[in-house]
Amino acid sequence: QSFKLLGFLDVRSVPCARESVLYGSLGSLVVGLGHFLATSRVRRSCDFAVGGFVCTTLGYWFYCRYNLAQHRIRQRMLREGMRNKILFEGSSLDPERKQTGNERSDS
């Protein structure tokens, strides 16, 4: 089963979508309730709540996607480094291997 928000955003399969909607609804509640307590204007508070939802959702969406992209880049670099370590281990290209004087003169 999948839950589609606005008919196109699949909240279960899209990374960061669920957290963005949850933080957006919390931001909406805080902004709307805060504005209502400050002004006692219901309609204007609802407008602020919708604005708070949009701003909080988009803000957390970009923050989460940026962190996810950084995490994937670090994973890719780590995976390539591990593959290179396995590939070059014990060979003359291994940077951790101590070179003797005889191997240096051959180079």
Domain limits of the chain?
Answer: 15-87
Could you tell me the CA-to-CA distances from 35 to 10, 21, 23, 74 in Å, in that order?
31, 21, 18, 42
Name which of 8, 7, 52, 61 is nearest 29 in CA terms.
52
Model confidence over 31-85: pLDDT tens digits? Answer: 999 999 999 999 999 999 999 999 999 999 999 999 999 999 999 999 988 887 7
The pTM for the full model equals 0.69
96 vs 33, higher pLDDT? 33
Average pLDDT for 93-101: 65
Copy the structure tokens of residue 14.
């899209």
Q: How confident is the model at residue 17 (pLDDT cuts 50, 70, 90)?
A: confident
Average pLDDT for 24-36: 96
Beta strands in 3-79 (DSSP E): 4-5, 9-10
Q: How confident is the model at residue 95 (pLDDT cuts 50, 70, 90)?
A: low
What is the model's pLDDT at position 106? 52
